[in-house]
Structure 1
Amino acid sequence: MSSRKQTLKPTEEALISEALAIEAEAAADAGALGYLARCMVQATMPHRKVEGTHFERKNGSFTLTMMAPADPGLPYGSVPRLLLAWLSTEAVRTRSREIELGDSMSAFMREIGLVPTGGRWGSITRLKNQTARLFACTVNAIYKEGGRTGILNRSVADRAVLWWDAKDPAQAAQWRSKVVLSEPFFNEILDRPVPVDQRALKALKQSPLALDTYAWLTYRASYMTKASTVPWEAIAGQFGSDYKLLRQFKAAFLTELRKVAAVYPAAEFDVSDKGLTVKPGQPHVQRKPSV
């Protein structure tokens, strides 16, 4: 065992340690039960900065389109994913569209698993920037099946007021920062939300692709009754439209898939040249009957 540990990279050791902790205690018992809106699991946000104000991803008959003002632009990366998970969890917990974000920036950052760091590329700047991008964007979901088409248009938030001081993130503001989720997006969250373990999200937070893959695998496990092979082209269309070559995406996806498997060992899948075969298995978090 000790010789194997010496060959592990620090990130791999951290993932394995987190996996052991997750296995030892159920998410609900650990106070780590979280939720995601289904539409944001079926297709996902950009991994990297996107030029322009329009972004699209497809998953079979489902197309997710995101649009945003030129300033601030489209959300991307891990931060808006962690934000959405926290907001969705609070919406399910409180059954309220109006959600308070805490009285200080650093306190909220700890809630979503970020360590406050300053500077141009620090987490404080990224959170402030990505929060504005997420709350300003509009999401369009289009379902096509046979001759039928369903179109849902929704903004993430009707209103957001952020009193945070980026220069002094630990300082409590006179008024609490809050966001009012749009009614359509709020209803989307409450309509069969996808349960996730927030400890897994925090363990995978360095990679937006790993976060997306984790959420997708546990979501599929919640409804699958037989094995299904998803071609690499389809997976790339859903997760990796910012890779120029399919082989580049495949290599990146398999790297992140190994990380996901470390924190979600019950995930059942096989990898082949054709694609990823996902098998019926145990969702990472069991859905509560009341949800």
Structure 2
Amino acid sequence: MTYDSKDLDKSNAYHYAPSVMSKLSFLPQSKPDSPSVRKTNGNSSITISASNGEWAYGAAPRMFLLHIRSLIKNGSDCVDAEHHTVYLDDTYNAFCNSVGIKYSGSNKDKVMEMVKNLATTSIVLENWSADGFIAHSFFVANTVALNYGTDESKKSFIEFSPQMWALLTENCVPLNPSIVRRLRGDALALDVYQWLAFRANGARRETRVTWEALLMQFKYDGYPMREFKRKFKRALEKIQLAWPELKVEITETGVIVRPSLPSIQSGNDDADTDAGVADDEEPMNPFVS
């Protein structure tokens, strides 16, 4: 199968985020020091664990999952839904262009390592109430193969676990591809954008969220609150430049999200978000740690 999705990226086709990625910050934004990371949102939580301590983190795996979800939703020929499999581009260059990550021959090993680390990540999803709880545990993928050498007969693909496939095919949140491209170097901005797209989609009244709740959703318990506020505000500034119709107010206690025009209807295609400049310790190249 020969496939190159660059045309999809240039088209008006929407990108799509799995709803769990819009409610919970799915992956670490920087490399954790611990073997697992837990994040919460209301009565839901997600615990991510790396296989052998090898993490998928930063902007690149987020862009990869958004790319995969969009291929599924848009009915791409490279998707084998019956076997929960997505076939990837035939060349490394085409793969990077399709996913929307920086192409560099020197980064090839890191790119392939990122996909492997993501595929072997284990996940525990929990939901609880006054009466009890339910927990699901699973790996992201059953099989992953990247073959970007001289033998073009070997195909690259990822076969997702049934549980992960269910997450990828459940109700999803449409994203503006132009905004995604502008934020693609900033992991936190991508997370906050997906969350706001979810919040603003069909909202009829304002929502107030405390800084403490935001910290647990996007970072983790123990992360310095002052540093988180600084990073969150910077990420929000980038999003608002790309999505000027977004109505979000920063307060002393947190943020207020008001009903807004959905980002997919935003027509500010000429905005300059400065998305290429991330925080000092989070450079744009998602493979520089």
Matched, 1:206 2:185: yes
Cα 1:232/1:62, change in 2 over 3 Å:
same
SS in structure 1 opposite 2:227?
Answer: helix
Matched, 1:110 2:97: yes
Q: 1:156-175 counterparts in 2 under 5 A? A: 156-165=140-149, 173-175=152-154
Q: 1:82-231 counterparts in 2 under 5 A? A: 82-94=63-75, 96=81, 97-119=84-106, 122=107, 124-165=108-149, 173-231=152-210
Amino acid at match of 1:31: N
Amino acid at match of 2:231: A
Matched, 1:274 2:253: yes
2:23 is matched with which residue: 36, 39, 42? Answer: 42
Q: Report sequence identity in percent.
A: 23
User: Could you tell me which residue of structure 1 aligns to residue 234 of structure 2?
Assistant: 255
SS in structure 2 opposite 1:285?
Answer: helix
Q: Is the 8 A contact 1:43 1:57 kept in 2?
A: yes
Q: How far apart, CA to CA, are the structure 1 residues paired with 2:18 and 2:161?
A: 13
Gaps of 5+ in 1: 1-26, 166-170, 287-291
SS in structure 2 opposite 1:151?
Answer: strand
Amino acid at match of 1:232: W
1:285 Cα deviation after fit: 2.6
User: Could you tell me which residue of structure 1 aligns to residue 45 of structure 2?
Assistant: 63
Matched, 1:245 2:224: yes
RMSD, aligned α-carbons:
2.2
Q: Is the 8 A contact 1:38 1:193 kept in 2?
A: yes
Cα 1:68/1:244, change in 2 over 3 Å:
closer
TM-score (norm 2): 0.80
Number of aligned residues: 251
Q: How far apart, CA to CA, are the structure 1 residues paired with 2:50 and 2:66?
A: 20
SS in structure 2 opposite 1:56?
Answer: strand
Cα 1:245/1:89, change in 2 over 3 Å:
same
User: Could you tell me which residue of structure 2 aligns to residue 11 of structure 1?
Assistant: none
SS in structure 1 opposite 2:175?
Answer: strand
After TM superposition, the structure 1 stretch with the greater mean CA deviation from structure 2, 29-38 or 107-116, is 29-38
Amino acid at match of 1:264: W
User: Could you tell me which residue of structure 2 aligns to residue 80 of structure 1?
Assistant: 61
Q: How far apart, CA to CA, are the structure 2 residues paired with 1:247 and 1:68?
A: 28
Q: How far apart, CA to CA, are the structure 2 residues paired with 1:176 and 1:141?
A: 32
Q: How far apart, CA to CA, are the structure 2 residues paired with 1:216 and 1:231?
A: 14
Q: How far apart, CA to CA, are the structure 2 residues paired with 1:241 and 1:194?
A: 24
SS in structure 2 opposite 1:111?
Answer: helix
